[in-house]
Amino acid sequence: MAIQSVVLKTIYVGTFIHSVSLAELQVLKRSAVAVDESGKILLVEHPVEASMLEMWAKEAGTTIVEAGPGQFFFPGLIDTHIHASQYPNSGIFGKSTLLDWLNTYTFPLEASLAKPSKAKRVYSRCVARTLSHGTTTAAYYATRDVTSTNILATTCHTAGQRAFVGRCCMDCMAPDYYRDTDAATSLADTIKCAEFCAKLDPKGELVQSIITPRFAPSCSRELMRDLGDFMAQSGLLCQTHISENKGEIELVASLFPECKNYATVYDRAGLLSEKTVLAHAVHLTDDEIALVKMRGSKISHCPVSNAALTSGAAKVRRLLDEGIVVGLGTDVSGGYSPSVLEAARQATMTSRFVSLTEGEEAKLSVEEALYLATRGGAEVLGLQKTVGAFEVGMEWDALLVGCTFVPDEEECDEDEDLLQAKQAVGGGMTPVDLFGWENWEEMVAKWLYSGDDRNVLKVWVKGRKVHEKPA
């Protein structure tokens, strides 16, 4: 390729690990990825010749970023379902289940973010925290307040996080202090938020609005229909919850007796399409799975939340076997952790419980969990051509991951040697200890099962560095 003829901005050099399919992670050792000024990947060179690196290093205006030994680049993690407005409640859920949890913990906190200074404080911390865990793209729920929702959109845009930001639509069955006045007002407020995002980011390169009927029990038929029409007309994505909890499903059956199941409630309103992200899907029936598949709607699997709120265990293998697109959601603060890596880890754990009743093939592998965290999430949000892997034409949304090297003290003659050995590999003090005999696959497994934000050394979105681990 005539690389000299295009403007290179940054060349990333080292080991790159990404999913090439659900079951396969590819490890590109001694490779280079060239990224242009707009953050687009121009070239993936595998393996890269030293002479090529030398040539690039001489080009004016080009920066070379090298991964150290034992470090690797990994695609940015994608959170397909997170409530930024609930971030301060992470870990606070007691023994509650969904419906009492909403009334006890969630609605009061969300309502309190109508105060802009509080919204700014909470959202800036939430976005900084998720970036530090390597979340480069998030589908956020804000609150029902327009100003507060727009503050979240601005916060993501300023911090450089790719985001879908939704105002929670809810004109029913919520407390008086936290309910939209009526369907018309709810739609009008949603349009205001969509207009705000369109002004903030006219091409939707980083931040977009997402239509967000909270869930069927908190939306009137009229509101859901209006939002379905707005979805068709605007082309925006839509996100909601489905079949999370048995009590919720009974409530939906009693509120919508004309519908034979939960999924049909959304379908009748025109809310089930290939642009719809359905969170949880724990208890979907065969008929509902068939409907979701037919409509091409996507599923956000939220294993941490489903365990914390005692909702149940989604049968992810079944969904994948049906060809339904699945990504991962932290569902903060139903989920206690803002980390997509934790969601990936818990997806594998949940799948082991599912395997006890559904058979061995229900188990998700390390490769599959990391696929859901990257390419799966990208497809859920319609970004499969843009992010999720290291491919020419995609954008540079990436992490530099590092682990801790445990030197062999007997092999080091002096303190100075030992110090150098410690510094030579990995990312300083992290929860993942490497002894030097692990292969790349083992290293990735160790990262999935024991890693956290201390392993996330740097984070980029669209070519811009948006986080660096403090020294």
Residues that bind Zn ion (CB under 5 A): 331
CA distance 252 to 2: 59
The item of ligand GUN, Zn ion, none sharing an interface with residue 404, based on CB under 5 to 8 Å by kind, is: none
Considering the complex, state which of residue 98 and residue 183 has its C-beta at the smaller distance from ligand GUN: 98
Considering the complex, state which of residue 330 and residue 351 has its C-beta at the smaller distance from ligand GUN: 330
Burial pattern 312-349, b for ≥16 Cβ within 10 A else e, equals bbbbbbbbbeeebbbbbbbbbbbbbbbbbbbbbbbbbb
3-class SS at 123?
helix
The item of ligand GUN, Zn ion, none sharing an interface with residue 216, based on CB under 5 to 8 Å by kind, is: none
Nearest-approach distance from CB 348 to ligand GUN, in angstroms: 21
Amino acid present at 433: D
The item of Zn ion, ligand GUN, none sharing an interface with residue 150, based on CB under 5 to 8 Å by kind, is: none
Instruction: Tell me which residue has tokens 């845009």.
Output: 157
End-to-end CA distance of the chain: 38
The item of ligand GUN, Zn ion, none sharing an interface with residue 244, based on CB under 5 to 8 Å by kind, is: ligand GUN
CA distance 87 to 90: 5
Considering the complex, state which of residue 243 and residue 348 has its C-beta at the smaller distance from ligand GUN: 243
Nearest-approach distance from CB 238 to Zn ion, in angstroms: 14
Nearest-approach distance from CB 103 to ligand GUN, in angstroms: 11
Considering the complex, state which of residue 58 and residue 95 has its C-beta at the smaller distance from ligand GUN: 95
Burial class (CB in 10 A: 0-12, 13-18, 19+), 4: exposed
Residue whose CB is nearest to Zn ion in the complex, by number: 331
Considering the complex, state which of residue 106 and residue 208 has its C-beta at the smaller distance from ligand GUN: 106
The item of ligand GUN, Zn ion, none sharing an interface with residue 162, based on CB under 5 to 8 Å by kind, is: none
CA distance 131 to 136: 6
Peptide bond into 311 cis (omega under 30): no
Q: Which H helix or E strand runs over 17?
A: strand 10-21
Considering the complex, state which of residue 19 and residue 305 has its C-beta at the smaller distance from Zn ion: 305
Nearest-approach distance from CB 364 to ligand GUN, in angstroms: 21
Considering the complex, state which of residue 44 and residue 172 has its C-beta at the smaller distance from ligand GUN: 172
Q: In this structure, what are the phi and psi dihedrals at residue 353, rounded to the nearest 5 degrees?
A: -65, -40
User: Going by C-beta distance under 8 Å and a sequence separation of 6 or more, which residues neighbour residue 443?
Assistant: 70, 72, 403, 434
Residues that bind ligand GUN (CB under 6 A): 83, 98, 102, 106, 214-215, 241, 244, 305, 331, 334
Nearest-approach distance from CB 320 to ligand GUN, in angstroms: 22
The item of Zn ion, ligand GUN, none sharing an interface with residue 215, based on CB under 5 to 8 Å by kind, is: ligand GUN
The item of Zn ion, ligand GUN, none sharing an interface with residue 458, based on CB under 5 to 8 Å by kind, is: none
Considering the complex, state which of residue 15 and residue 305 has its C-beta at the smaller distance from ligand GUN: 305
Nearest-approach distance from CB 296 to ligand GUN, in angstroms: 23
What the block records as the tokens of 85 is 């407005």
CB 178 within 8 A of CB 107: yes
The item of Zn ion, ligand GUN, none sharing an interface with residue 379, based on CB under 5 to 8 Å by kind, is: none
CB 421 within 8 A of CB 404: no
